A and B are shown apart, each in its own frame.
Chain A
């Protein structure tokens, strides 16, 4: 066995920092000669200006530390801005984002345009021009839920989260940046597509038969609703750390309250609960926001408030669990 260059290494020292590591700089010398080309940046690496061979016990510790490497790259205090740039790079550099958003846009705009083409002006007498977007959103919200889950859970699934948290030990900042970036992306995509559909519909059907219902609010509320659903999914993904589990959970959140009321209506005792579910499930909430219910003057505000409360609770839970758990 080849023996390596054998530095005159002292027995390991006691742990008190005060204890001088008498000969710590020496191995450095031993290697400074032995290694030809220093790797890494050519930097002004203070590669061991030969330390005095005579051990100078009191100052040896400081000497060891002053010989320690210092990088020429300037030190910056990291802040939320850094985390946001990083998360923006992350979200746009994976296929799943491209896929989920493409399908979302195709569903909302595609189905929306089909609906625009198959309606007449008098169809818009009692409903806003954005109604064609509603049909696509019902399906499209699943895409945003999937993307939201993947933004967090895929990091756990791949092991990336360890690299992420090593680079950014301020975990809450990472999660905050993820939420902000995802919400922005989801809101821009959904508001943009709803707006586009609304503009198409109003362009094609702005005859005198069409009503004069303001629809700007439905763009905002509709986009807010599906984006928040995505943030809820993101928080669930962060808590469960498992893509399939989190997506299934979110499908349950969307579908169960839409299906269950039919059964709950059978018994008197659960009838009230069933009615509430029917009122507040995701599908019906969107319908309310787009004012599809004929006799209802409400515009989904209470449904939106419920989702805001639910999402806030999940986000708080995700933050609370984030710091304590091992990754």
Chain B
């Protein structure tokens, strides 16, 4: 159980993390999605007490990280960069971590086995490939058999087999009742692993909803139409009670009605169609659109003047500008955030 409240981090002028409030719950995999530079790693460092928040608060099971007496048994974390001394062997790296938390030496062998590094346990970490380094980092995260696991871009550098392995690992860890928080910049990766999704862009919270809702709302299927008799077609569809959206370039988009029905209607009224095609917006597209808007929003914010920053607590509650109402993303923002 991780709770963030109004978490904010500034590096000089740059706001890396902007007033994040959300909760990471046990028993599910929570995906933390955002493009590069969105502030995912910074957020995770603040969760671990490595960076001090400019404003706001993080609690692990109600406690500050620094108050944890046996942190490795609470949280296991894989950070994005190789956070280890390359000159130390894999075994010794894990051993010194284990010792710092009073974890028995036998457990080091166990986790090395779990991640498949037993054969290279005595080899220096600097000779490891990116994927092996990730596995060693994951071994360190599993060391204390913690109830909370945090992975920053864990699939980076892994081969397909490794990616498959880590997906299953995360799901099974969650199924044991653990809290699993994993970041990625790839929507497709998240769609395969996460049950719940937190999306950030430019440090701001853009969405916080279940994966199922996200998919339902964003893998919108619709019918695309083009016709030289556009006005008549619009009339016909309107009379049939079908809502049409003009999508530019003379194309029309119809939601919630099958291509068959639209085609039959056109035939009845002897309308010429140049295109009648069922479409499916991909999640990746939806994600890119969402984060592009957060960039747009940022440009606006600069116009309003940079000085309006009430430390850490931007007035919240309303949807951010650039939010298209009714497009699904809103629901992440419509949730009550009275805690702010």
Residues on A facing B (Cβ under 8 Å): 1-4, 6-17, 21, 24-25, 27-28, 30-32, 34-35, 37-41, 43, 45-48, 64-65, 67-73, 75-78, 82-83, 85-87, 89-90, 93-96, 154-155, 158-170, 324, 326-327
Contact = CB atoms under 8 A, between A and B. Distances in A.
A163 B83 contact: yes
Interface residues of B, number: 91
Interface stretch (B70-78, B221-229, B234-242, B264-272): B70-78
Given A40-B172, A69-B147, A166-B71, A12 B99 contact: no
B26 A64 contact: yes
B173 interface: yes
Nearest to A161: B83
Interface stretch (B43-51, B153-161, B294-302, B320-328): B43-51
B213 interface: yes
A73 B99 contact: no
B87 interface: yes
Given A3-B215, A6-B211, 14 more contacts: A4-B191, A7-B195, A7-B210, A11-B209, A11-B331, A12-B210, A25-B27, A68-B1, A77-B69, A77-B70, A82-B100, A86-B97, A96-B87, A165-B49
B129 interface: no
A158 B86 contact: yes
Contacts of A14: 335-339
Most buried by A among B22, B101, B110, B213: B101
B27 A68 contact: yes
A80 to B, nearest CB: 11
A209 to B, nearest CB: 50
Contacts of B208: 12
B147 A94 contact: no
B196 A327 contact: no
A15 B23 contact: yes
B143 to A, nearest CB: 8
Interface stretch (B32-40, B176-184, B249-257, B305-313): B176-184
A89 B101 CA distance: 13
A70 B88 CA distance: 31
A4 to B, nearest CB: 6
B15 interface: no
A70 B148 CA distance: 10
Nearest to A77: B69
A159 B83 contact: yes
B170 to A, nearest CB: 9
Contact of B49 (A3, A69, A85, A169): A169
B43 to A, nearest CB: 13
A14 B209 CA distance: 12
Contacts of A34: 171, 175
Given A16-B339, A27-B27, A158-B84, A85 B99 contact: yes
Given A7-B28, A65-B1, A169-B66, A163 B79 contact: yes
B243 interface: no
B75 to A, nearest CB: 7
Contacts of A83: 100
A40 B173 contact: yes
